[in-house]
Amino acid sequence: MTRNSIARLGSVCVVVSWLLGCASGPPAPDWQVNAHGAMQRATMAEWEGNDRVAGVEWRRALEETRRTARLDLLALVELSRCAVRQASLDIAPCEGYERLQADATPETQAYARYLAGVPEAADIPLLPPAHRAVAQWLLVPPTERSSATVLMALADPVSRLVAAGALLRAGRLDPPGIAVAVDTASQQGWRRPLLAWLQVQADVAQQSADAALEALARRRLDALTAGAAARPARTSD
């Protein structure tokens, strides 16, 4: 993983700010620093499609956090893992978080509802600042304002993809919003999210009889999967 790749993931702090202590202040304890680094590496590995490394790093993040015996922080790490996977449209039940949900903080519970696309009005001030406007938009009836406008207001690509997943689960992501998610994953070179979002774009284009967009999305999918097949297997990181 390159230094620039790690730097691009500094925004993971937005998702896990209660845990990682990303704000300025006294030096963080070792477990926080270690958990932070492990979660960054796990996120990049997830999005590169390197499941082995991702699994190792998520386990490391959990073990570092477990040193505190704080169930609320363990719940947050588990939910953060689900947020990262949801950005790649893996919306399987978040079982690790669900086991700890009763011990999660109100902020973490609010974030879980937001990820599921069902935020409540009382959740808005509890959410990470980057996601409050998106959650607020979900609370009002649909208007002519495109989801693309809402997503493009998020400067950070990590937050943008997480928000796109929440909007999709809420049924509020239109084709321009899907295009924003595709472009975001493409610009960052995040293979797994790009595969997922290109597939969504192709399927939606097919349903709306947009043959040109469907064909383009499928050509891009072919290029992406052909490139993966041509690469030698990775034996180390």
Least-confidence region, from 41-50, 65-74, 103-112, 115-124: 41-50
For residue 231, CA distances in Å to 53, 194, 219 come to 17, 17, 19
- Structure confidence by residue, pLDDT tens digits, 41-90: 999 899 988 999 999 999 999 999 999 999 999 999 999 999 999 999 98
Rounded distance between C-alpha atoms, residue 47 and residue 57, angstroms: 13
Pick from 38, 75, 43, 72: which is nearest to 57 by CA? 38
Exposure of 51 in the CB half-sphere (CA atoms within 13 A)? 1
- Structure confidence by residue, pLDDT tens digits, 133-158: 999 999 998 877 899 999 999 998 98
- Domains of the chain, residue spans: 3-230
Residue that is written with structure tokens 């192709």 in the block: 202
